[in-house]
A and B are shown apart, each in its own frame.
Chain A
Amino acid sequence: DTGVSQNPRHKITKRGQNVTFRCDPISEHNRLYWYRQTLGQGPEFLTYFQNEAQLEKSRLLSDRFSAERPKGSFSTLEIQRTEQGDSAMYLCASSTIGTPSSYEQYFGPGTRLTVT
């Protein structure tokens, strides 16, 4: 059973450019979450999907951010017109429902974004 994977692991971009990150959840997990973590802070929730449906979005997710999970498997998070304040670690997690391990979110290694 492979864990959650994220690509790329690191991304350096210039302000104003668009970036896209990918997350592959644990294969049998139907829920997928995106969080953002800045230095010295805990992760902050951005959005989550159940299968392909996006069920909740945080107010942190401005209109420059968009997330998709078109086939209910992998997900992408795109940031348009990046700003220096977007520099952070972007974490993906997945979970399942209806099993003894329901509600447990398992995290990927993250994508560290640096906006210069």
Chain B
Amino acid sequence: AQKVTQAQTEISVVEKEDVTLDCVYETRDTTYYLFWYKQPPSGELVFLIRRNSFDEQNEISGRYSWNFQKSTSSFNFTITASQVVDSAVYFCALGINFGNEKLTFGTGTRLTIIP
């Protein structure tokens, strides 16, 4: 069975600080995909990134960066120079069977950026 753990329930940081959201996953499959989604107060889940299990390169997209480490089964997400618009609930998710079937989500981390 697959499991995703987001141990941080809520995080608050002051604007312009950097913040890292943790994600730990469990699966016996050797091929899998990891995702991050953002759910702002409006409620719609917004896709941020997908990583393949065979590609451990870290990725940077603007102020966002992701650190994938298979050795620790972690896929952490860092926001640099946070902004108020980053306030949202962030979900980490795991997909197996080439990622086209169900996603298993963590319970989310509520991030509040204080102006």
Q: Is A43 an interface residue (CB 8 A)?
A: yes
Q: Name which of A15-23, A62-70, A80-88, A107-115 contacts chain B.
A: A107-115
Shortest Cβ distance from A40 into B: residue: B107
Contact A105 B103 (CB under 8 A): yes
Contact A109 B102 (CB under 8 A): no
Contact B106 A31 (CB under 8 A): no
The docked-state distance in angstroms from the alpha carbon of A110 to that of B46 is 12
Q: Which residues of B contact A (CB under 8 A)?
A: 4, 33, 35, 37, 42-47, 50, 91, 93, 95, 98-108
Which of under 10, 10 to 19, 20 to 34, or 35 or more describes the interface residues of A?
Answer: 20 to 34
Contact A45 B104 (CB under 8 A): yes
Q: Is A48 an interface residue (CB 8 A)?
A: yes
B45 CB contact (under 8 Å) in A56, A95, A107? A107
B54 CB → nearest A CB, Å: 13
Contact B108 A58 (CB under 8 A): no
The docked-state distance in angstroms from the alpha carbon of A91 to that of B4 is 19
Q: Is A28 an interface residue (CB 8 A)?
A: no
